[in-house]
Structure formats: C-alpha cells, structure tokens
Amino acid sequence: MWRGNNRSRERLRSESDCSVYDEEYRIMILGAESVGKTAICQVFVGGKEDDDGYDRLVIQKTAKFRRAEFCAWDAVDGQTCCMRLTEIRMPLTGGSQNGTDDPVFKTLTQRADGFLLIYSVTNIESFWSAMEYYHLVIQIRNHSDTPLVFIANKTDCVNGQVVTSSKGREAAFDICASYYETSVRSDPDSIKFVFHDVIRQVRSVRMHARSQEQPCTKMRGLIHRLSWKSKKKQSKSRLRQKLNSPEEIKKEL
Ligand SMILES: Nc1nc2c(ncn2[C@@H]2O[C@H](COP(=O)(O)OP(=O)(O)OP(=O)(O)O)[C@@H](O)[C@H]2O)c(=O)[nH]1
C-alpha cells in the first residue's frame, strides 16, 4: 500500500536510477513498537520525525506486523550510495520461532547487508526485544560477520530513562555491534552517523569477501592459461600426425 504522495512516488522512481550511485546497500531496521524506527528513517531520508507521507512505501501494516520501506541517497567517505531501508516490527512473544518461520522476514534477513537494532532507553522491554531480534538474525544468517549497530534511542527523555548507557554498551560489546545513543528529537543531525557506520561495516565485509575471492580468481586464470597451452600443443601434435613431410608441417604452422 502506497502511503506517500505522488511527488514522493515520482522521486522514488526517478532516483532509483542505478547510474547515480556507486553501490547499493540493503539495511534492515529492527525494534519493538514505538522505539523510533520510522522517526530515525524519516530524519535520515530528509524528512521530519513525524512527516507521515515522506518517501515511504508501506508494504504491510497490521496491528502486530509492520513493514515499511524507504530509499536514501548519501555520500559516505566520498562514495555515493543508495540505501534501501526496510523497517520491521513483528511479534516476538513466541520466542525465536515467529521470525525464522516467517518467509518474508527470513528472505529479507538473508538478503540484507546490515542491521540496525533499536531500543528506547525509556522501555526495558524494547531492550530485550532488540536482543531477541539479534538472535533471530544470527539464527537465520548463521554467521558472525553481519554488520550490526545497536541503537539506544530517545536519550532526550532523561527522566524516563530505565536502560542505562553501560547496559546498552555492554550488550553491544557482547554481540560485536557498534553502539550509538541517539535522540531524534534533540539531535537529529547525529542520525546520519549511525547509517554511515553500518555502511562502513558492510564495505569492510565486502572487501574481505573480495580478498577471499582473489586467490580463487588467480587460480582460475592460471588453469585457463594452462589448459589453453595444452590445447595448442594437442592441436599441433594432431596436425603433425596428419601431415607427412616436415616441409608440410612447417608450412601449416
Ligand atoms: N522524545 C523522543 N520521542 C521520539 C524519539 N524518536 C521517536 N520518538 C517518538 O516516538 C513515537 C514512536 O516513534 P516511531 O518512529 O513511530 O516508532 P516506531 O518504532 O516506528 O513504531 P512502530 O511503527 O509502532 O513500530 C513517535 O511519537 C515519535 O515522535 C526520540 O528520540 N525522542
């Protein structure tokens, strides 16, 4: 279901042109209800925290399950990139079962390049949900080099804060994620650093993957050259067998 206005839809279409950016990144934003997932995406995309119609393609929205998509363009360390942001909230009450069983969630998780796990410092349940989302992701992807950022949002609510900085930092350390404290309300400009961090993590994973591929590519080149040489030898010897005199052989070669 499209929820943005026509101008936004046109912008989404026109900016989806692959020639305008160097690389594409698929980022998933996971967290419990009302932690600020949409607000963070909207602020990053360039809208306001509560701008309901801004460049958003809402795919699914029910009382329990919610999925929204955004597109963002930015330059990170001199390289332009297109970010496909997918925000998801779903029931976690049945433990890890729900997520791994859900085909949409599973496919999106497998395809994603990086993950933002968000909780609100005013809600301890949302902290545990962020941890549950982490376990779901790792269960589905089954490897540890998944770019992750752990985000403590709503830090402007000083009086209502129930999740301490040290708790968030320790959890992030345990799951090998970067840790950021954000406030969409009081410091919207800092939101971009969260996205830049995950992009850098994705880039280093991609670079590592490329460097792992290199010996293989070199080996393939060597095998190709060797097989080409042996084919050439074979064809020469076949030719020799066909021809009788040494003069004929010389002429043919
Ligand atoms: N004080 C404060 N409020 C925030 C902050 N970020 C988001 N909010 C508010 O929190 C409420 C929920 O924000 P959303 O962005 O809709 O949260 P969500 O995680 O997308 O929620 P669901 O769509 O229900 O899953 C909104 O009223 C926001 O304005 C923040 O940093 N500080």
Tell me the domain boundaries of the chain: 6-209, 214-252
Residue stretches of the chain with pLDDT short of 50: 1-19, 53, 96-97
DSSP label at residue 110:
H
Choose among 24, 46, 188, 45: nearest CA to 114: 24
Alpha carbons 154 and 235: distance in angstroms, whole number: 74
Q: Is 37 in the pocket of ligand 1 (CB under 6 A)?
A: yes
Alpha carbons 227 and 16: distance in angstroms, whole number: 43
161 C-alpha to ligand 1 centroid (Å): 15
Taking CA atoms, 253 is separated from 26, 225, 236, 240, in Å, by: 56, 21, 8, 10
- Which CATH class name applies to 6-209? alpha beta
ipTM exceeding the 0.90 mark: yes
Q: Which amino acid is at 136?
A: L
Taking only the tens place, the pLDDT of each residue in 108-129 is: 999 999 999 999 999 999 999 9
55 C-alpha to ligand 1 centroid (Å): 17
Q: What is the pTM of this model?
A: 0.77
Would you state the pLDDT for residue 146? 93
Alpha carbons 119 and 182: distance in angstroms, whole number: 10
Alpha carbons 31 and 212: distance in angstroms, whole number: 33
Ligand 1, atom 6, lies closest to the CA of: 36
Would you state the pLDDT for residue 58? 61
Would you state the pLDDT for residue 196? 95
Taking CA atoms, 72 is separated from 18, 26, 38, 40, 51, in Å, by: 13, 10, 13, 12, 15
Q: Is 125 in the pocket of ligand 1 (CB under 6 A)?
A: no
Would you state the pLDDT for residue 4? 40
Would you state the pLDDT for residue 94? 54
